[in-house]
Structure 1
């Protein structure tokens, strides 16, 4: 009997940024794999490149779970649809996580209708294969970075829109959905890395523990829950600052280069509406865009040629 297959798709959060192990990243998905099922471990080699995994590299296996992480830092929903989805489907996972969307909000090409259509395609492709789907709504990056209000509010509006779409589609596809966009864990600095965008080891463990609890409630996890306590010492302040000044700053810059001009325009528009007392219109406009995106998907599903 083959081991249970768990495949993770997404961006830097799922890749494990903030939870360093050796020369690479581990992250919440790898931690969760330890507790999905019990049994003797196995490993296998890939005969071709899959995502960030090179030919001949060993796919991790913990207990009776075969875990493959296809997540790549900087990925948007388009990358998951076009690159990670085919590789994930080829692995025929029993459990698949799709946690994505923050990078879309950081780009000038942000389009909630396109985001919704891509996520719906990815979710349905895996559920039609019979995989258990894991999803999550995510924190607002502007708030996590501590941006000024006029800059943070447009990003918050975008992230709320993505979360609303993820929540609705997760319910439609029967996903195991984690509400990670709010709660005390967001303000606990001990859970976050120096860049304030990625969890540290303790934060990644918190995500793994919460996902495990949801799976256990549904009778889908039979292994022991991941430990919430860190395995490694917390990075020193100097080490964290050095990472932020080198790799961390570069990470943020690469994600926001094409956003900055538009973000400044959005900030000016935000301040103008606040001065006029019409800020509610921006929220209504965003809500209407989400509703239109979900309605378009529902209409498409009802068409005779949709299948």
Structure 2
């Protein structure tokens, strides 16, 4: 653990105004890569971490997480938005479209048009809506080819936020996690350190008081070029090839899975499964 080199963040002097937080999206919001046996679904993630901080500041806070891994934006639209609105949230986070952008032949402008309808629907009920420009993958040799497409989608997201009074939690600008030590072994999802840093960033975006401190991973152990390539081959067989095949077959890792926190309820931490 070390001191954050940036200008110290100053949150609101008063408790935050939110009492009912609902998160929608895919594996990023579900918390894949951040295993926690005591948590619903066996994963924690940045959204649970944000809920934990917010819940400590007010007495009547409730949280639901409707995100399911592998979901495309139309599936999020069809399966999660009505359910989210039925919970009557005053704070909603929506990170959607990333799986679509990574599919060959998709148009980031068309994906953004769907996202805009979802942001408008959620905001029309009076909730504060938080959107997420995608990660900068320029550091990642596997996903670097998608960088331009993600950047186009991100510009659309920023426009949507500006025109619909949404808050922006900017993953592209979160340089701390442009480092393999913040990612899980599958190289597709954040690890606990990465989810922790995203939670800190989201709380800053909300201007909410937070006691989460920056975490720094241990240095990478030295390894030879041959060992690194061997690890790359093992990773490709175990994670990349199955990921590509699911997309070619129009399958999802979340097929048949239910949301881990379908009802808005007090957040009491992973140890007791609440």
TM-score above 0.5? yes
Secondary structure of the 1:21 match is coil
Do residues 226 (structure 1) and 212 (structure 2) align? yes
- CA deviation map 1:159-179 (0-9, x unaligned): 111111111101111111022
Q: Which residue matches 2:24?
A: 9
Residues 1:29 and 2:24 are matched in the alignment: no
The answer to whether the 8 A contact 2:109-2:156 is kept is no
Cα displacement string for residues 38-96 of structure 1 (whole angstroms, at most 9, x for unaligned residues): 457xxxxxxxxxxxxxxxxxxxxxx6321111111111211121111111111111110
Greater RCO (Cα-Cα under 8 Å, separation 6 or more): 2
CA distance in 2, matches of 1:70, 1:35: 19
Counterpart among 61, 66, 69 of residue 65 in structure 2: 69
Q: Which has the higher helix share?
A: 1
- Deviation string 1:146-192 (CA, Å, 9 cap, x unpaired) is 13xxx843x22211111111111011111110221145324333222
Q: Map 1:1-307 onto structure 2 (within 5 A).
A: 4-22=19-37, 24-38=42-56, 64-140=60-136, 143=138, 145-147=140-142, 152-153=144-145, 155-216=146-207, 221=208, 224-229=210-215, 248-249=239-240, 252-257=243-248
Does the aligned pair in 2 maintain the 1:167–1:177 contact within 8 Å? yes
Counterparts in 2 of 1:251 and 1:65: CA distance versus 1, 3 Å:
farther
Alpha-carbon offset, residue 197 of structure 1: 2.4
**Contact preservation (8 Å) 1:34, 1:226:** no
Q: Scaled by the length of structure 2, what TM-score is found?
A: 0.69
Q: Note if contact 2:109-2:153 (Cα within 8 Å) is conserved in structure 1.
A: no
For 2:144 and 2:247, locate their aligned partners in 1 and report how far apart those are by CA, in whole Å.
13
Identify unmatched segments of 5+ residues in structure 1.
41-62, 234-239, 260-307
- Structure 2: 5+ residue stretches without partners: 1-17, 219-230, 251-274
Higher CA-based Rg: 1
**CA-to-partner distance for each residue in 1:91-146, whole Å, 9 max, x for gaps?**
111110001222112223512332122111110111110101111111245x4641
- Counterparts of 2:46 and 2:191, CA distance in 1: 10
Deviation, structure 1 residue 9: 0.8
Q: Which runs of 4+ in 1 moved over 6 A?
A: none
* Structure 1 residues 126 and 183: alpha-carbon distance in aligned structure 2, compared to 1, 3 A threshold: closer
Task: Please give the TM-score of this superposition, normalised by the length of structure 1.
Answer: 0.62
